[in-house]
Amino acid sequence: MSNVLFNSFLNVLLDNDPKYTQLAENTTAKYDTKKDYVYDTRKFDIWLCPKGCSFKNEMNDTLGDIFSNNITYLNNLGNITLENVNSEDGLPSSGCYQMTEILNVPASAYIFSKNNYPQDCKVNMDYDYESMNYFVDDCCAKNNYVPHVPRLSPENNYDVNKVSNELSTKDLEYFTDNSAHFVTEYGFSSGYNSDEYSIYNIPKNLLLEDQVNLKATDGNFDLPAINVNGGALLITWTDLGKQKVYSYHSELLTSGSIYNRMKQTNQGLTVGEFENEIRYIPVVYENFPINSAACIPVSYTELPKNYNLKNTKLNIQWSEDGLFSLK
């Protein structure tokens, strides 16, 4: 097989395990959605492997199931992005969930949210600015009660224009009494306005097309001085954590393992001597999988020919269409 998208990764995408599907319900979770959880850039790694491999492609395959040797770790895949495109014209989606005909979410809903405030927006530098503790996604839950924000509610999509003249004395404890200032000085729209989303750097949740491309921006990988041949690239996914490892005499070892080996040959080794020795090890992988055998295979792509990676630097030019596509 020259190109394979593994069923084991599709199983991750379709898994109904609560850790994948209910993260948004846990306000202390690092990820808001399953997509954010799965496509965390630290979870993807790239390996060089033999060309001409064949796979059973089982739903629960791991890296240890399909490769026992002859595979070389290259690096963490790096910054990745997802692009939703139409498979017929290859163009990204032009619509988003916040649009008028869908949810009609105004820019002010994000700007006054403590939890969804746009990272690059500057409105919070206004002296009269005050954020409120709500999630914009609650706009979809028309009967959802938001504690302490009785006027700025899901029923009006947290529209600042609809609360400026309705605030009671009780409301003022939770929302600035200068809300009219934002209506007159900023002129926020009462519904979705594409220009305001651009002006205030508010991310849009684009509508899903029938094809999703995974892309990576990093394409340079420094390899250890090893004599390895390979003709295909394997991408894996793991949520078991990462660790720093060193290429020590052609082996990938943690600092603790190196320290123990050094102690066996030099009983008088001090911590200072060890730190001085280890800093000269040329190759360090900051995000090596803690349990590499348990990594889940994502995709396998054969290269035009076999490559010898002794004392070399690998430069990968990804296709503009992405690493792989899901339809």
SS3 call for 155: helix
Buried b (16+ CB within 10 A) or exposed e, 204-238: bbbeebebbbbbbeeeebebbeeebebbbbbbbbb
The token pair at 96 is 């988003």
Contacts of 261 (CB under 8 A, 6+ apart): 248, 253
User: What is the pLDDT of the chain when averaged over all its residues?
Assistant: 75
pLDDT (tens digit per residue) in 80-121: 777 777 666 667 677 777 887 677 888 888 888 888 899 889
Confidence class for position 24, pLDDT limits 50, 70, 90:
very low
- What lies within 8 Å, CB to CB, of 143 at 6+ separation is 154
Q: Give the per-residue pLDDT at 199.
A: 92
pLDDT exceeds 60 at position 137: yes
pTM over 0.75: no
Q: What is the pLDDT of residue 225?
A: 54
Find out whether 31 and 37 touch, Cβ atoms under 8 Å: yes
Check pLDDT > 50 for residue 174: no
Side chain identity at 283, as an amino acid letter? V
251-253 sheet: strands from edge to edge? 251-253, 242-248, 284-289
- Domain borders along the chain are 3-91+210-240+292-326, 107-199, 242-289
**Tokens representing 49?**
């492997």
Nearest-Å Rg of the Cα atoms of the chain is: 26
Q: Per residue in 138-165, pLDDT tens?
A: 655 544 444 444 445 555 666 666 654 4
What are 281-314's pLDDT values in tens digits?
A: 766 788 889 888 999 999 998 888 887 776 666 6
